[in-house]
């Protein structure tokens, strides 16, 4: 199956087209916004040249979302998800414009970091709403196809946005005006995404059953209780709980690899004093890894015709493990590029399958909490990986022993997940009354 034929199959659904357009425009703005942060945090000549420095930057960017994130899912189960897309993108317009003004007027400082963190936090909330709403706009039997295309093509849109941000950087003189111009353009895209959300009906994306909303503090307490209930539900349901667990572990291992790749690009394959050269090398290797993501788009539907999503997850873990074994052999550019392609296939292929399992095996009233937990585990795993990378990686980013250890862990995770799904015959355990009928 080709990407275009799959997209044509899904595009016959009018509401899918509307939701997909919101994703593309929103993530294009994300890419433009984030490329400015990447340049600021990791490729400024004075910043983040060491493993510990890179780890600190990732902790600043992700740890707050790990703490706040649990409250996103229960709110998605309380609020109309279309309104979340509408209001969330509108909020990002205000935040991005405020950042543009601050950077143009006073430069980088604490307010800029705080607003950047809040903007990225809203972004994670929006991505959860997009995922939770997808089963409401496509038939159940086309969920795998939709999960194959929408996140990856959304990532393509983010890459396009990043490229546009870099182009703006080339056209606008360096300095405060340059930074503000990129952010102001991103704000226009956020505004467009907010307006496009209005094409969906207010209740189009669910949820069908919403808890009664009370006082704010009552909602906060209820949210905490519902989050615990959601976690218990997913664990008891077995297949979505195991899917989230294996994806969090995969994310942890990928995080180690990502930080290693960043440091290798800056300090091993490029002159450490030339941050611009390091950024170009990292962008090239990231593009190579993205080609692996694209390959996963092609391979996942083919694999789905021959095996269950859980078996494809095991295969993808093996592919990712192979990438680390390859990295352990050499630090040459070609070997690193080949490993990046394999890792791209392993990460994206497993993510598509996990998304499908969570959506397929989770009741709609718990789906928002499921994807909120997904985001929390995603971020927490990356923060944990950053902390471990700071302790075990050299500043060059390449260590034969570390990559060999990651290979072994991937194999063990694949074996453990395969054994876990075999114990329940790869079927979810009924928890709610509606699931027993």
d(CA 187, CA 398) in angstroms, rounded, equals 38
Stretch 284-293: mean pLDDT, rounded?
89
Q: Check pLDDT > 90 for residue 138.
A: yes
Select the highest-mean-pLDDT range: 51-60, 105-114, 178-187.
178-187
Specify the range with the lowest mean pLDDT, choosing from 178-182, 204-208, 339-343.
178-182
Per-residue pLDDT of 192-204, as tens digits, reads 999 999 999 998 8
Task: Output 68 or 152, whichever has higher pLDDT.
Answer: 152
Helix (H) or strand (E) holding 313: helix 309-327
Radius of gyration of the chain (CA): 21
- Alpha helices per DSSP H over 264-308: 275-304
User: Per-residue pLDDT for 205 more than 80?
Assistant: yes
Q: SS3 of 209, please? A: coil
Res 29: pLDDT? 95
- Alpha carbon distance 134, 20 (integer Å): 9
On average, the pLDDT of the chain sits at 86
366 neighbors 211 (Cβ within 8 angstroms): no
Over residues 340-363, the mean pLDDT reads: 93
Whether 420 shows a pLDDT value over 90: the answer reads yes
Contact 259, 51 (CB under 8 A): yes
Q: Which of 69-73, 120-124, 156-160, 374-378 has the lowest mean pLDDT?
A: 69-73
Q: What is the distance, to the nearest Å, from the Cα of residue 273 to the centroid of all Cα atoms in its chain?
A: 31
pLDDT band at 264 (very low <50, low <70, confident <90, very high): very high
Helices 51-68 and 14-42 pack at an angle, to 10 degrees, of 140
Helix axes 239-263, 364-392, angle to 10 degrees: 30
* CB within 8 Å of 86: residues ≥ 6 apart: 194, 197, 198
- Domains of the chain: residue spans and CATH: 3-206+215-425 (1.20.1250.20)
Q: What is the pLDDT of residue 371?
A: 82
Distance of alpha carbon 261 from alpha carbon 302, whole angstroms? 30
Averaged pLDDT for residues 417-424? 95
Counting every residue, how long is the chain? Answer: 437
Residue 79, φ and ψ in degrees, nearest 5: -95, 155
| Per-residue H/E/C for 224-276 | HHHHHHHHHHHHHHCHHHHHHHHHHHHHHHHHHHHHHHHHHHHHHCCCCCCHH
Q: What is the pLDDT of residue 163?
A: 87
> Cβ neighbours of residue 286 under 8 Å, at least 6 residues apart?
261, 340
Would you place residue 27 in the very low, low, confident or very high pLDDT band (cuts 50, 70, 90)? very high
CB atoms within 10 A of CB 178: 18
pLDDT class of 64 with cuts at 50, 70, 90: low
């Amino acid at each position: 199956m080709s990407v275009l034929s799959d997209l044509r199959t899904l595009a016959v659904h009018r509401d899918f087209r509307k939701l997909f357009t919101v994703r593309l425009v929103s993530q294009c703005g994300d890419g433009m916004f984030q490329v400015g942060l990447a340049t600021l945090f990791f490729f400024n000549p004075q910043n983040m040249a060491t493993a510990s420095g890179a780890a600190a930057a990732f902790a600043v960017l992700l740890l707050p979302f790990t703490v706040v994130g649990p409250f996103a899912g229960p709110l998605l189960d309380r609020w109309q998800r279309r309104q979340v897309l509408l209001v969330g993108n509108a909020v990002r317009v205000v935040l991005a414009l405020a950042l543009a003004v601050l950077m143009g007027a006073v430069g980088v400082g604490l307010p800029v970091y705080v607003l950047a963190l809040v903007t990225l936090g809203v972004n994670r909330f929006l991505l959860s709403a997009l995922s939770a709403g997808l089963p409401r706009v496509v038939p159940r039997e086309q969920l795998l196809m939709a999960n194959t295309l929408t996140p990856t093509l959304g990532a393509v849109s983010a890459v396009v946005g990043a490229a546009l941000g870099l182009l703006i950087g080339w056209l606008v003189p360096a300095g405060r005006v340059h930074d503000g111009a990129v952010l102001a353009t991103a704000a226009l895209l956020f505004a467009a995404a907010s307006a496009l959300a209005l094409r969906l009906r207010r209740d189009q994306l669910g949820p069908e059953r919403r808890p009664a909303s009370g006082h704010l503090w009552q909602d906060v307490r209820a949210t905490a209780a519902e989050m615990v209930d959601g976690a218990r539900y997913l664990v008891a349901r077995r297949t979505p709980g195991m899917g989230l667990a294996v994806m969090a572990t995969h994310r942890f291992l990928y995080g180690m690899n990502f930080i290693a790749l960043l440091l290798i690009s800056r300090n091993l394959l490029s002159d450490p004093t030339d941050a611009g050269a390091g950024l170009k090398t990292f962008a090239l290797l990231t593009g190579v890894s993205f080609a692996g993501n694209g390959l996963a788009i092609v391979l996942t539907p083919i694999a789905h015709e021959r095996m269950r999503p859980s078996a494809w997850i095991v295969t993808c873990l093996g592919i990712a493990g192979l990438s680390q074994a390859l990295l352990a052999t050499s630090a040459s550019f070609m070997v690193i590029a080949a490993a990046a392609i394999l890792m791209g296939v392993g990460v994206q292929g497993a993510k598509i399958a996990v998304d499908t399992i969570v959506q397929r095996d989770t009741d709609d009233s718990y789906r928002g909490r499921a994807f909120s937990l997904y985001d929390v585990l995603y971020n927490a795993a990356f923060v944990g990986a950053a902390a471990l990378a700071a302790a075990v990686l050299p500043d060059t980013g390449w260590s034969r022993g570390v990559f060999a250890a990651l290979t072994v862990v991937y194999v063990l995770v694949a074996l453990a997940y395969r054994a876990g799904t075999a114990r329940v015959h790869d079927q979810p355990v009924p928890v709610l009354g509606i699931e027993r009928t």
